[in-house]
Structure 1
Amino acid sequence: MKEKGRFLKKYRGNECLNCGVPLDIIDRYCHNCGQLNTTKKLSFRDFFDEFFASIFSYDSRLRHTMIALLFNPGKISKDFVEGKRVKYANPFRFYLSVSIIFFIINGLFIDFDKFTSNIGKDAKVGKEALNEIEKSFVANDSIKEKISSQISETNGISESDKEIIKNAILATDSIPFSAFGKKEPKEVIYYTQAQIDSISFFSRPFKLWKMYDDYYEKTKETLTFKALADLKHDETRINKYVYKRVKKTNDLNDNYGRELLEFIFNKLPFIIFFFLPFFALAIWFLYIRRTFTYMEHMVFTFHTQTMFFILIGLAILVNQIAGTTTVTGIAILIFLFYLYKAMRKFYNQGRLKTIVKFMLVNVLFFILAGIGSAFTIAGSVFIF
């Protein structure tokens, strides 16, 4: 690299200006603190030269990382665990950077309003259909009476036909209204504060929930302190928390989960980040007979997940430009092939063993993803 500006030898000193350690003219940087060995005053040009030099220096590591990650599956992970790390970006920081960029790009094209609007339309159609069914059952008794009177007045119908018609009428009585969404009246017990205090700690939230939910449905009171005052309940933490959760849950019903979806989506980069160590643990058990440490499996996991975000992120951009959704499916197929090649390269096993473990890895991934999703949704309901 050609030296210029403050890097020139004529500006090098015999002592580090930062820590005072003795230096030689051949020392470009201080071997104690790493500061540049130069006595030249900082100029406007030097400032921007170093600024762009630092960018290109980072890009050099980024370039090596991207090339190895994209075109040589498993190589970057293998090099990293073998100690060849200087030219590559840190896998954990690189993963976080890529995942945040991915979710920013994805968030730009996700229309939560449209998504929840479509759900709302479907729900509205369903409610209208249920209302029509209920109306038809309300008129059921009068219809049966008319048919019965017509049967009694008709002499031209045989006895067997009359019996068939009667059975059809009676069959309508066997269909429960609840099957069509009609709510049974619910009996809710309203407790005093003294009664609430006598309820066990673990069952108390469930009792409060039923009571507060019924109260909110009847009054639509949004102020927690006023609701508790009307119910003559103390403003304890658990009382306030449960009532606020009731309000949030009813709001979710009104906007079809839009707020919860946005909350979960905004936390996904960190949720997946904390989920990946469990996936690495599953891979560790899968390769327990090999000499790889848990952290080496972690490096492989973060590299492959980073590649997944890159492929899906590019697919989303292409989908938006081309106005299609098929590219995402192609990207997933490419990633599955990439994962197989990466496993073959990193773990250095034969095709048959790699294929079997590749299938097991995907099964484990979907199991853990399902468990993780359930915990995420359940946890989000209580904290969002």
Structure 2
Amino acid sequence: MKEKGRFLKKYRGNECLNCGVPLDVIDRYCHNCGQINTTKKISFKDFFNEFFASIFSYDSRLRHTIVGLLFKPGVVTKEYVEGKRIKYANPFRFYLSVSIIFFIISGLFIDFDTLILEDHEERDKKEAFQVKISSPSLADESNKIDSIAQNKEQEDFVYFNEAQLDTMDMFKAVNSRWKTYKSHYKKTGQLSASLALDSLQHNKSGYTKYLYRRSIRTGDLNENPMELLKFVFNKLPFIIFFFLPFFALTIWLIYVRRSFNYMEHLVFTFHTQTMFFILMGIAILLDQITNSEIASSIAMFVFLFYLYKAMRNFYQQKRAKTIVKFLLVNILFFILASIGSLVAIIGSIFIF
């Protein structure tokens, strides 16, 4: 490498300016802390030369990693766990970078406002159709509307005082308190839990305040369930991130007789999930250009084939064994994904 700027030998000192460790003129960097061995004052030119050099150095690792992941399934992971790491980006860091870009792209092109509007319109059409089918005359329709209004009015007056709630078992008390708070909110529109509990003459504990707020949000979800979907989607990066170690554990169990340790399975998981984000990110962009969903469908099939090849190249097993384990991995993945999605939705209801 050609020496220039602050790297020239004439600027090298006898000790590190950062940690004070003795150095020789042949030392380009301090062997203790890694700082450049130079006494030259930094200039505008030096600053930007080093800045762009560090970017291109990272881009070199980035290029090797992306090309390797795209065209050599499983090979990058195999070389990385064998110790050939200097030319590849850190799997964990690379996964985070790609996942952030993927969710930015998908967030830009998934229009939740349109989905919410369509959901409202669809429900309005269903309600109008049901009214049309079940209403042979205007008189009957008028009676039905009056009946619905009376029922709604009765619902709005659901109320249980603290004395009544104290006589109930735990589950019935929670359900009755929930109905009381929901009815009170429908009647008054009161958003403040403290003021609502004062009005209802209920105890103002952390639990009752929390329950009142949850009853309001659950009511909003009944009116607009797409809001929950939007909320869960925004939390997907965190959900997937915490889900991957469990998926790596299932792969470890499948390959328990092999010599790989858990962290090596986790590196494989990070690499394959990163590849999934890259393929789907490209597919989403192509779908936007072509105004279709063909690219996303193709990307899913490509990824499944890619996963098979990655397993074959990384774990170095015969084709028949790899196919069986590939099918088993996907079955376990969908089971874990279903459980994870259910937990995420239930958890989201309580933190939404």
Question: Which stretches in structure 1 are left out of the alignment for 5+ residues?
Answer: 141-181
Any idea what the Cα deviations from partners look like across 1:10-62, whole Å, max 9, x if unmatched? 21111111111111111111000000111111001001111101111111111
The answer to whether the Cα contact below 8 Å between 1:205 and 1:238 also exists between their aligned partners in 2 is: no
Equivalent residue runs for 1:242-281 within 5 Å:
242-254=211-223, 256-281=224-249
TM superposition shift of 1:188: 8.6
TM superposition shift of 1:208: 1.6
> Which of the residues 302, 306, 323 maps onto 2:270?
302
The answer to whether the Cα contact below 8 Å between 1:62 and 1:89 also exists between their aligned partners in 2 is: yes
Are 1:229 and 2:198 an aligned pair? yes
Cross-structure match for 2:120: 120
Are 1:207 and 2:176 an aligned pair? yes
Structure 1 vs Structure 2 CA RMSD: 2.2
Higher mean displacement: 58-67 or 299-308 = 58-67
Equivalent residue runs for 1:86-105 within 5 Å:
86-105=86-105
Amino acid at match of 1:379: G
> Which of the residues 232, 254, 261 maps onto 1:286?
254
Amino acid at match of 1:309: F
Cross-structure match for 2:132: 132
- Aligned residue for 2:235, secondary structure, equals helix
Distance 1:364 1:35, change over 3 A: same
Amino acid at match of 2:185: Y
Question: Which stretches in structure 2 are left out of the alignment for 5+ residues?
Answer: 141-150
Any idea what the Cα deviations from partners look like across 1:153-193, whole Å, max 9, x if unmatched? xxxxxxxxxxxxxxxxxxxxxxxxxxxxx99x879963322
Cross-structure match for 1:21: 21
> Which of the residues 304, 317, 327 maps onto 1:349?
317
Amino acid at match of 2:41: K
CA distance in 2, matches of 1:336, 1:94: 21
> Which of the residues 305, 324, 334 maps onto 2:292?
324
Any idea what the Cα deviations from partners look like across 1:194-213, whole Å, max 9, x if unmatched? 44456566664333212222
Amino acid at match of 2:324: V
Distance 1:207 1:318, change over 3 A: same
Distance 1:137 1:93, change over 3 A: farther
Distance 1:138 1:350, change over 3 A: farther
Number of residues paired by the alignment?
341
Distance 1:203 1:60, change over 3 A: farther
CA distance in 2, matches of 1:64, 1:261: 37
Any idea what the Cα deviations from partners look like across 1:237-265, whole Å, max 9, x if unmatched? 111111111111122233x2343223212
Identity level (%): 62
TM superposition shift of 1:324: 2.0
The answer to whether the Cα contact below 8 Å between 1:12 and 1:25 also exists between their aligned partners in 2 is: yes
CA distance in 2, matches of 1:333, 1:44: 51
Instruction: Report which of the two structures shows the higher radius of gyration computed on alpha carbons.
Output: 1
CA distance in 2, matches of 1:114, 1:40: 59
TM-score by length of 2: 0.91
Higher mean displacement: 243-252 or 337-346 = 243-252
CA distance in 2, matches of 1:87, 1:203: 62
